Structure 1
């Protein structure tokens, strides 16, 4: 009985975009948390690493900051639709 009421309330076509947006937001947050825990040089999980204090690991921090996506878009112009921008800004 309660399952049928839940289905009647939440399983509607109007709710699917909300589920998609929430799923995407949770996915992005999960990715960011996992990336920081796994490879961030400032995050130390083990007790031995935390006892080391502040490390002068500039090269490790630079490699974390300049990841492969940032290297890929480094030389690109910050445009979303470059063809459309060229069409409307070209001299006639």
Structure 2
């Protein structure tokens, strides 16, 4: 029984599926760790929870304006702008 299950699921055709699911789980895990560790509204320790609601706008701004957002802020919202320009801009 176990060998038939292994031979069914460990075929070369399902490797891309495993890779896609692995990347998705990795992204979810990264976002979970980011929220737990750096989100100013999440308080894990008892001392931080006792503080109540804080008006820490600078910390919230730092969390919201992370490096990826700063990097893509002035970029064109295209995946391949040179190819799009080649096919859409007349000469």
Structures share a fold, TM > 0.5? yes
Q: Distance in 2 between matches of 1:7 and 1:88?
A: 47
2:41 equivalent in structure 1: 42
How far did 1:3 drift?
4.2
Q: Distance in 2 between matches of 1:40 and 1:67?
A: 11
How does the TM-score come out when normalised to structure 2? 0.91
Q: Distance in 1 between matches of 2:67 and 2:27?
A: 17
Residue 61 (1) aligns with residue 30 (2): no
How far did 1:6 drift?
3.0
User: What SS does the corresponding residue of 1:9 show, helix, strand or coil?
Assistant: helix
2:22 equivalent in structure 1: 23
Instruction: Summarize deviations over 1:38-72 as a string: whole Å, max 9, x none.
Output: 11101000111111111001100001010111111
1:14 equivalent in structure 2: 13
How does the TM-score come out when normalised to structure 1? 0.90
Name structure 2 gaps, 5 residues minimum. none
How far did 1:89 drift?
2.0
Q: Distance in 1 between matches of 2:34 and 2:10?
A: 33
